[in-house]
Structure 1
């Protein structure tokens, strides 16, 4: 049961002094906020779970120890907020991979794209993305803007997606990709920021996994769309199949963007509340986050910047993500290998070049959902290390290159496990920085900005398209970078554990019993079969 110290934290968040914690006849903790009774989060109660069936937590989205009010709220969030965030991220990657599919399906020849111009498409996109990423995160962290900011940006990029069907030169592609980079800034970090603002730390990892694999679904579906466009629309009204792909993408994007204006809830403190939440549910959402120590929005200024740059969180998070982001480039380059094989041996058709790589995204979807759910059952550092080891193995094999055909396919497919890393890193950062909302949003934005800044020139310098697909230098650098980001993340785990131990020591020293506001990264209690408590080490 949550502690009654929650009332003090609610007052600190801006509520007036008419807050009274009581318990009803069923034993539920109730907080009266301005005369309205709010059922406080029951999620802090530790469930009894056998070690032998702990893996079943993967499928336990609404634990039995939750109150009926909290289950109803979480179901609503899953049906609306999580779905919207997934669709937002889905259409972002649908558009991203549309360019990739179009390039290998006739755009290169029709627009006479030469040399490394293809790599520069991503560079211009990344420049726009990194310039506006931190300002975008600062905007979305404001309760008064959060509700309409994302759908507005979605609408504008949907319009721009339509215009890509009329491209006629490389310079037009550069300009379009730059603007798309600006407009798509809230799709990734904005979505994860909203999710971590509504879901508790023990709920968000598996939902972040579902959210992230929507990008893989977008990449996979883009291959199917391009195949269908090439077969059914190529030449219709005098337009190539790759041009029709952008029109179809635009139709999908604009419908989702319009729905967002009516459904996005903003932040828990956003007023007026969205229509599908009651006032009691909104207040419960605030109480849920307060019960784990998550702070609400405050002023942005010099003090916030000082907090960011004088703590380890910023440097560990940014460095880890920069190294990871660079290594993820090869995950989407299976088409280059298939195209090379087709040119040399006539092995694969255009349809097969677009369809075969969808297996990478299919594996990424399954792995992203299952593996991120394991984070709340088994030690986080072990889950992260296993994923990293598999990615390291794949890059080593591709560095060797002359390997059996079956292993070649296996390595490309295993690169789909990059889908597990981002939905672990960002919720982890939100967890370790839960007591500083503004620093959290700034650091999240900085991760994407600096990560994409390096990613904007990484493909050109390390994976130039002229050397595709046998990037000997590129895979060597990738191997080094994978080892680097794993090492930095493990250092972050150590620092977080030490930080949480210090908090517990201070609380015990002061004689406080209100311990809901910190998380124990090193241990979780589970109930084993004989009824005795056992401690399972967590990293």
Structure 2
């Protein structure tokens, strides 16, 4: 009878075996070994699937690495590809074709930041919802891919301002959202090196964008009566949209989300058990208590303050292309393709140091790696502040600024780690880190621009007033000279008359 019953049941694969046959779900936290020696800790950097993990848990991690990591990396890669293409286009003919200037170039980032800051926190709140987190990021990615296509038809600065605002809104899930997803599936001792790999995908996007623009300029400039910089936006859109569509079928959301096809029911149970054992709380309702938990604890203020200060110093590296363009205009030193490809060395440094620094967090205390990277960045900023330095030192400083890739993949996982006991507060804080940063920078952009506009207007008024004064003085001097000459003639004539009388 027993054999007949088994023969009547449908065949099952190993992944589809019942929970009763496999036993209770157990995470490796109950089987964790003692602290390793320094040499073993260095070996652990390269061991993504530790031997003390169960076979089932190692298999789950491999699944996560095969699906979540590529999806998050590709989303972040595309985000930076589509965000940075405006810089490549600007130095590759867009400035001249659309008659743009430096102030308008600065406003491109301002409008992007306005859109980003308005939707960053709401976006993170949506990602923290189990049902929405599966479909929300791919939807936004698809929409920004379509908007990227639209940039090929830009006509003036007003079109650019509107497009950049929309991109800021649509790209909100790609940064903090991806890190929130990663820290929802990976434990604290697993997430740092994966966050490093994830973060350097942004540098790969920036590097790829430079080579892509150089290729578009050389091979597509003038094709179908379109400039090379317009083709860049079309190519970026072609890359973005298919990946977004794939996300609808592959993206898993968070462990509490409806199960995606590549995870079994037991996989999902194990994922939730792992994070629960690590102290990560599951999502609950959003309400006033959440805001109270956020604003009455120090975590929020330390996270925000640190990220604001970091972001205010990280934008310098993006100016290398403008410096090369200036050198080309002044001395004819570099060609357009070189202006697009030389700065990619910064991204190369960023990729190496980003992965290395996050891996070192598994060996040394987090603060030591963070401090070392910050010291190098301080040196670079001081060097560029002096400015009147050899060209070689310019290149050294710009390339070492690639070490900004060390900061974010350490800071964000650390914030997620210290706030792991409150999912909503964690989502709100990581969203606010981008929100507050963009608020500060947008206000700073606007204030400095308006100050410059005011000072320029006052300077024009002073020049006009000075020109009027100078003109009056010239006319007065001419009148004085004419008067003096007339008096001299009269005196001479009188003297001659007196001589004749004598």
TM-score (norm 2): 0.84
Q: Confirm whether residue 407 of structure 1 aligns to residue 393 of structure 2.
A: yes
Greater helix share, structure number: 2
Q: Following the alignment from structure 1 to structure 2, what is the Cα–Cα distance between the partners of residues 318 and 455?
A: 13
| Residue equivalent to 1:283 | 269
Q: Confirm whether residue 122 of structure 1 aligns to residue 97 of structure 2.
A: no
Q: Confirm whether residue 139 of structure 1 aligns to residue 117 of structure 2.
A: no
Q: Confirm whether residue 267 of structure 1 aligns to residue 260 of structure 2.
A: no
| Residue equivalent to 2:173 | 186
Quick one: which of 73, 95, 99 aligns to 2:86? 99
Q: Is the 8 A contact 1:325 1:452 kept in 2?
A: no
Q: Is the 8 A contact 1:154 1:183 kept in 2?
A: yes
Greater strand share, structure number: 1
| Residue equivalent to 1:318 | 304
Q: Which stretch has the larger CA shift, 253-262 or 322-331? A: 322-331
| Residue equivalent to 2:429 | 443
Secondary structure, aligned partner of 1:143: coil
- Spell out the pairing of 1:385-396 with structure 2 (5 A cutoff): 385-396=371-382
Quick one: which of 197, 203, 208 aligns to 1:216? 203
Q: Following the alignment from structure 2 to structure 1, what is the Cα–Cα distance between the partners of residues 160 and 21?
A: 57
Q: Is the 8 A contact 1:38 1:280 kept in 2?
A: no
Q: Confirm whether residue 355 of structure 1 aligns to residue 347 of structure 2.
A: no
Q: Confirm whether residue 108 of structure 1 aligns to residue 95 of structure 2.
A: yes
| Residue equivalent to 1:532 | none
Displacement of 1:58 in angstroms is 2.1
Per-residue CA deviation, residues 282-312 of structure 1 (Å, 9 max, x unaligned), is: 1000000000111000111001100101000
Q: Following the alignment from structure 2 to structure 1, what is the Cα–Cα distance between the partners of residues 319 and 437?
A: 19
Per-residue CA deviation, residues 320-351 of structure 1 (Å, 9 max, x unaligned), is: 11111111111111111111111111111111
CA 1:459/1:389 → structure 2, altered by over 3 Å: closer, same or farther? farther
Q: Following the alignment from structure 2 to structure 1, what is the Cα–Cα distance between the partners of residues 267 and 212?
A: 40
| Residue equivalent to 1:418 | 404
Q: Following the alignment from structure 2 to structure 1, what is the Cα–Cα distance between the partners of residues 341 and 190?
A: 34
Per-residue CA deviation, residues 238-261 of structure 1 (Å, 9 max, x unaligned), is: 000000000000000001100100
| Residue equivalent to 1:251 | 238
Q: Confirm whether residue 299 of structure 1 aligns to residue 285 of structure 2.
A: yes
Displacement of 1:36 in angstroms is 7.7
Q: Confirm whether residue 60 of structure 1 aligns to residue 28 of structure 2.
A: no
Secondary structure, aligned partner of 2:112: helix
Q: Following the alignment from structure 1 to structure 2, what is the Cα–Cα distance between the partners of residues 458 and 356?
A: 30
Quick one: which of 330, 333, 352 aligns to 1:344? 330
- Spell out the pairing of 1:361-400 with structure 2 (5 A cutoff): 361-400=347-386
Q: Confirm whether residue 158 of structure 1 aligns to residue 145 of structure 2.
A: yes
Q: Is the 8 A contact 1:326 1:458 kept in 2?
A: no
Q: Is the 8 A contact 1:93 1:218 kept in 2?
A: yes
| Residue equivalent to 1:13 | none
Q: Is the 8 A contact 2:130 2:253 kept in 1?
A: yes
| Residue equivalent to 2:440 | 454
Displacement of 1:115 in angstroms is 3.6
Displacement of 1:210 in angstroms is 0.6
Per-residue CA deviation, residues 2-43 of structure 1 (Å, 9 max, x unaligned), is: xxxxxxxxxxxxxxxxxxxxxxxxxxxxxx989984431115
Q: Is the 8 A contact 2:135 2:251 kept in 1?
A: yes
Secondary structure, aligned partner of 2:175: helix
Quick one: which of 34, 39, 51 aligns to 2:25? 39
Q: Following the alignment from structure 1 to structure 2, what is the Cα–Cα distance between the partners of residues 100 and 38?
A: 54
TM-score (norm 1): 0.78
CA 1:460/1:214 → structure 2, altered by over 3 Å: closer, same or farther? farther
Structure 1 residues not aligned, in runs of 5+: 1-31, 467-539
- Aligned residue pairs, count: 433
Q: Following the alignment from structure 2 to structure 1, what is the Cα–Cα distance between the partners of residues 445 and 73?
A: 27
| Residue equivalent to 2:458 | none
Displacement of 1:459 in angstroms is 5.6
| Residue equivalent to 2:193 | 206
Q: Following the alignment from structure 1 to structure 2, what is the Cα–Cα distance between the partners of residues 251 and 241?
A: 16
Displacement of 1:49 in angstroms is 3.0
Q: Following the alignment from structure 2 to structure 1, what is the Cα–Cα distance between the partners of residues 223 and 314?
A: 36
Q: Is the 8 A contact 1:94 1:221 kept in 2?
A: yes
Q: Following the alignment from structure 1 to structure 2, what is the Cα–Cα distance between the partners of residues 63 and 228?
A: 43
Question: Between Structure 1 and Structure 2, whose CA radius of gyration is higher?
Answer: 2
Q: Following the alignment from structure 1 to structure 2, what is the Cα–Cα distance between the partners of residues 122 and 393?
A: 26
CA 1:249/1:364 → structure 2, altered by over 3 Å: closer, same or farther? same
Q: Following the alignment from structure 2 to structure 1, what is the Cα–Cα distance between the partners of residues 171 and 229?
A: 22
CA 1:296/1:109 → structure 2, altered by over 3 Å: closer, same or farther? same
Q: Following the alignment from structure 2 to structure 1, what is the Cα–Cα distance between the partners of residues 35 and 413?
A: 24
Structure 2 residues not aligned, in runs of 5+: 1-17, 453-502
- Spell out the pairing of 1:483-522 with structure 2 (5 A cutoff): none
